[in-house]
Amino acid sequence: MIENHLYTCDDKLKWWGYGEWVEEADNVYFTHNEIECHVIRSAHKESNAQNFHIFGGHLCGYCRIPKDHPYYEKEYEEMNIDVYFALTFGEFLNNEYWIGFDCAHACDIIPSMQYLEKSNPGLIEIKKKCKELLKKININDNPKTYKNMNFVIEECKSIAEQLNAIK
């Protein structure tokens, strides 16, 4: 397993505040059951004339499908792969076909969004009003969770095992 950091702890703290993501690696490569796997932290710079914001901080997991596999070149929506939320990616990168998933759904903690929700006065007010509205209409506001590196690695391993079972 090869792990490295793409961003410094100081950058992560500045962009996303404190959380597990500050200490954990941002980029991990490994092989499981002869399937190459890659986990990477997503970060996208968004800017306007006044300032910029680094959106993301969440993890995405990918597996390379071998050329001799029945799913090679198949649309990811057509694959029978059980993974967190669902496959959300299938593309050729450097002449290799990769499929993957992300951890940036409504039930997930996205570090940049959590940071903004705690630090931006306008978003703090919106979040407060949403909680009040949900309470009024008797809808449970389930807490979001952060899908950490160990979680995403295990999901990639599961994809690799499923790909091998399909061969």
Q: At residue 131, does pLDDT exceed 80?
A: no
With residue 137 as reference, give the H or E element that holds it. Answer: none
pLDDT in tens, 64-101: 999 999 999 999 999 999 999 999 999 999 999 999 99
What is the mean predicted confidence (pLDDT) over 2-12?
96
pLDDT in tens, 13-56: 999 999 999 999 999 999 999 999 999 999 998 777 667 779 99
Q: How far, in Å, are 48, 72, 78 from residue 82 at the CA level?
A: 39, 17, 12
What is the mean predicted confidence (pLDDT) over 104-129?
87
Nearest-CA neighbor of 112 among 27, 2, 25, 14?
14
CA dihedral of 22, 23, 26, 31, whole degrees rounded to 10: -150
- Please tell me the distance from the alpha carbon of residue 22 to that of residue 28, in angstroms, as a whole number: 15
Model-wide pTM > 0.85: yes
Residue listed under structure tokens 């790909």: 163
Q: How far, in Å, are 2, 79, 93 from residue 72 at the CA level?
A: 25, 10, 13
- Rounded to the nearest 10 degrees, the angle between the axes of helix 111-119 and helix 121-136 is 100
Percent residues over pLDDT 90 in the chain: 74
- Please tell me the distance from the alpha carbon of residue 167 to that of residue 152, in angstroms, as a whole number: 23
Say if CB 162 and CB 81 are below 8 A apart: yes
Q: At residue 130, does pLDDT exceed 80?
A: no
